[in-house]
Amino acid sequence: MIIPCIDLMGGKAVQLVQGREKALEADPLATLERFAAFPEIQVIDLDAAIGSGSNDELVAILASRATCRVGGGVRTAERARALIEQGAARVIVGTAAFTPALEQISDAIGRERVIIALDSKDGHIVVRGWREATGYTAEDVLSRLEPYCSGFLCTYVDKEGMMQGTDLDWFRRLRAGTSRELTAAGGITTMDEVRELQRMGVNAALGMAIYTGRMDLAELARIAVAKD
C-alpha cells in the first residue's frame, strides 16, 4: 500500500526536514483532495506530538472525508478513544509505546486499531516528536510490542525530508523481525524504492517526494491500485 502523508502544524499541512526545519506548507483540505485516489491517508498532528497545541478540529474534518490513520500526542487511552470518535480508522502511538499507557490504549480501542511508531535516528528510537532518544533499537522491541498493535510505522529519521533516499536494508531487517503490517517512512524518494518496498511486503508512507513533485501522484496511484 502507498500512503500519502499530511503532517499538521499551525493549521497547515507541512513538510519538515528531520522533524525540525519547515521546508514547505500547504492547505490541508486541498492536499486531501489531491490524495483522493489513495485508499488510506496518514495524518500526524505535529503540534500535539511536541506538546505545543493541537489541530483537533482539522483532524476531525480530514478523518470524516477519508480513511485516515492518525497520530501525534497519543499518550493516553482517552486521547486514542477521542481520535477514533473523531473518525480515525486507526491510531498511531509513538512515545506511549514505551510506557504503561500502551496496554491501556490497546485495550481501550482494540489492538487492531493501534499502529506503533518506531522512529529511528542514529540507530536508536526517538520519541516526543523525535526530540528525545531512547536506548532501544527498533529491532530490539518489535516482538515485545506485537501483542499491542496491528502494525508498525517505522521512520528512518536520518533521511526524513532530505530527498536522499532511504535505508532499504533497515526495512528488510524489520520485515524479517515481525509478521505484523509494516509501513516505511523517511527519505523515500524514487519509484524504485517504492517498488522494492512493495516487493518486501512493506507499505510506503510518502511525504516530501510527492509534495515537491519528485514522484508523480498519478503514477503512484496506478501502482497503488494495481497492488491493492
107 is catalytic: no
| pLDDT confidence band for 19 (50 / 70 / 90) | low
Distance in angstroms (rounded) separating the CA atoms of residues 49 and 75:
9
Query: pLDDT digits over 155-174, tens only?
Result: 998 866 556 789 999 999 99
216 is catalytic: no
| pLDDT confidence band for 202 (50 / 70 / 90) | very high
% of residues, the chain, pLDDT over 90: 71
pLDDT of residue 163: 67
- Bridge partner list, 139: none
Query: Among residues 47, 56, 119, 158, which one is catalytic?
Result: 119
Helix axes 217-227, 191-200, angle to 10 degrees: 20
Under 8 Å between Cβ of 115 and 90: yes
Grid cell in block for residue 185: 517512512
Under 8 Å between Cβ of 159 and 16: no
Query: Among residues 7, 27, 167, 169, which one is catalytic?
Result: 7
Query: pLDDT digits over 111-150, tens only?
Result: 999 999 999 988 888 887 667 778 889 999 999 999 999 9
pLDDT of residue 224: 73
Structural domains of the chain sorted by starting position, each given as residue range(s) with its CATH number in brackets: 2-227 (3.20.20.70)
pLDDT of residue 99: 93
| pLDDT confidence band for 77 (50 / 70 / 90) | very high
